């Protein structure tokens, strides 16, 4: 999970980036959620798929 502050244009830029990643890496789940604190990006998939991103431990 990645978190981002809700600052001007952050949401629009995150939506643009997530849309591109959904095309590139459709085998993963890309979930962009706006919260009271800002934005949360949850990326789901199995362990091997997530390790392909170099984000998993």
Residue 57 is assigned to a structural domain of this protein: no
* pTM, 2 dp: 0.79
Residue 13 lies in a domain: yes
Enumerate the β-bridge partners of residue 39: 4, 34
Domain membership flag for residue 34: yes
Beta strands (DSSP E) in 1-57 are 2-5, 29-34, 38-44
Task: Indicate the number of domains in the chain.
Answer: 1
Q: Which structural domain, as residue segments, surrounds residue 40?
A: 2-51
Establish if 8 belongs to a structural domain: yes
11 is a domain residue:
yes
Q: pLDDT digits over 12-40, tens only?
A: 999 999 999 999 889 999 999 999 999 99
pLDDT tier for residue 56 given thresholds of 50, 70 and 90: very low
Is residue 16 situated within a structural domain? yes
56 in a structural domain: no
Is 46 part of a structural domain of the chain? Answer: yes
Q: Looking at residues 30-52, what average pLDDT do you find?
A: 92
pLDDT for 47: 87
Q: What is the token pair recorded at 25?
A: 């890496």
Is the pLDDT at 49 greater than 50? The verdict is yes
For residues 1-20, average pLDDT: 95
């Amino acid at each position: 999970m990645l978190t981002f502050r809700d600052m001007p244009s952050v949401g629009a830029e995150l939506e643009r980036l997530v849309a591109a990643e959904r095309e590139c890496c459709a085998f993963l789940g890309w979930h962009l959620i706006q919260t009271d604190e800002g934005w949360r990006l949850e990326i789901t998939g199995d362990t091997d798929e997530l390790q392909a991103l170099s984000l998993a431990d």
